[in-house]
Amino acid sequence: HAKASGKDTYQFYSKILNAEALERLEMESSLRRALERNELELAYQPKYATQSKGICGAEALLRWTHPQRGPISPGAFIPLCEEIGLIVPIGDWVVREVCGQLNAWSDAGLAPIPVAINLSPVQFRQPDLIERLFKIVVETGVDPGLLEFEITEGATMENIALTTATLSHLQALGFHISIDDFGTGHSSLSYLKQFPINTLKVDQSFVRHLSENSKDAAIVKSIVTLAHSLGFTVVAEGVETQAQLDHLSGLGCDAIQGYLFSRPIPPQEFAGLLGSELMIQPALGDQRGSAG
């Protein structure tokens, strides 16, 4: 009996493993096909300056609709892309797509707006990252000052010397640098001092209970103070309520991003938002110029 149940258990797990392995394989080939067939899309989420009360930038976020399964969130497919190395060509596609979009908005007569692009740790580690990025801006003729790269604390701490060199190089070319999900990773204050960066993005986990939780409020207040003391601007992510916005404005947080103002939206819709704005002031851009 024991033997039989052991065998059953084995068959049970091997079935699950096979199903998982098959699903992964299917996802992998679907993703490769999506890239080849240009089925990936970008959504743009506005960043809103608390002082000038206008759109001061956007973050480009990947969107993928699987032909059978429907929309799949980046949290689900990006780790897979990282594992199989597909994040490198996909990352290039994102940068090229954003540059094309910036040119299209410029051709349509819209004022230039900085766009932030997420860089995976895998991309950040590529020895030819700088060349790849530079090639794309040269080919598309986009002002590097309109591009901002968001990297997580974890990615920056992998290799301090390499990070310092890479960030310096990126800044020298005119790109802006943000630390994403700040406060959730392991970054050391001494490196924060040494890294050439422009902006800290307060993770949404600290923003969620900002109005009710005095500890979260204290953490956010400290991050704002720290960032400003080091000459960085601060953006808060995941702002969903007016109370959170009021609190963050009171703390002197430079910009906010979140569903309160807008969800990530397709580029045509984003252009509509820009066009409808009375004040198009890249307020962050001005401050960042003096920070770096």
Per CB under 6 A, residues contacting ligand C2E are 45, 61-62, 73-75, 78, 91, 94, 118-120, 150, 180-181, 204, 237-240, 257-259, 264
Q: Which of 155, 222, 221, 168 is nearest to 194 (CA)?
A: 168
> Quick one: what does residue 61 bind among Mg ion, ligand C2E, none, with the CB cut-off 5 to 8 Å set by partner type?
ligand C2E
User: Per-residue string for binding with Mg ion, 110-149, x by CB under 5 A?
Assistant: --------x-------------------------------
Nearer to ligand C2E, 235 or 274 (CB): 235
What is the spatial distance between Cα 251 and Cα 225, in angstroms, rounded to a whole number?
A: 9
Beta-carbon count within 10 A of 57 CB: 27
| Residues sharing a CB contact under 8 Å with residue 107, sequence separation 6 or more, in sequence order | none
SS3 151: strand
Nearer to ligand C2E, 6 or 248 (CB): 248
What is the spatial distance between Cα 260 and Cα 113, in angstroms, rounded to a whole number?
A: 20
Nearer to ligand C2E, 74 or 185 (CB): 74
Q: Nearest distance from residue 257's CB to ligand C2E, in Å?
A: 6
Q: Nearest distance from residue 142's CB to ligand C2E, in Å?
A: 17
> Quick one: what does residue 170 bind among Mg ion, ligand C2E, none, with the CB cut-off 5 to 8 Å set by partner type?
none
178 token code pair: 């943000």
> Quick one: what does residue 258 bind among Mg ion, ligand C2E, none, with the CB cut-off 5 to 8 Å set by partner type?
ligand C2E
| Residues sharing a CB contact under 8 Å with residue 101, sequence separation 6 or more, in sequence order | 42, 44, 60, 115, 267
Residue with CB nearest ligand C2E? 258
Q: Which of 122, 171, 115, 168 is nearest to 146 (CA)?
A: 115
Nearer to Mg ion, 78 or 136 (CB): 78
Q: Which of 42, 90, 147, 150 binds Mg ion (CB under 5 A)?
A: 150
Q: Nearest distance from residue 69's CB to Mg ion, in Å?
A: 22
> Quick one: what does residue 73 bind among ligand C2E, Mg ion, none, with the CB cut-off 5 to 8 Å set by partner type?
ligand C2E
DSSP-assigned beta bridge partners for residue 54:
49
SS3 231: coil
Nearer to Mg ion, 74 or 106 (CB): 74
What is the spatial distance between Cα 20 and Cα 14, in angstroms, rounded to a whole number?
A: 10
Nearer to Mg ion, 30 or 198 (CB): 198
> Quick one: what does residue 75 bind among ligand C2E, Mg ion, none, with the CB cut-off 5 to 8 Å set by partner type?
ligand C2E
Maximum separation of any 2 CA atoms in the chain, in Å: 77
Alpha-carbon Rg for the chain, nearest whole angstrom, is 21
* Dihedral in degrees, nearest 10, Cα atoms 56, 58, 59, 63: 160
Q: Nearest distance from residue 170's CB to ligand C2E, in Å?
A: 15
* Dihedral in degrees, nearest 10, Cα atoms 178, 184, 190, 193: 20
What is the spatial distance between Cα 194 and Cα 278, in angstroms, rounded to a whole number?
A: 39
Residue numbers 174-193 binding Mg ion by CB under 5 A: 180-181
Q: Nearest distance from residue 5's CB to ligand C2E, in Å?
A: 42
Q: Nearest distance from residue 256's CB to ligand C2E, in Å?
A: 9
Binding site for Mg ion (CB under 5 A): 118, 150, 180-181, 237
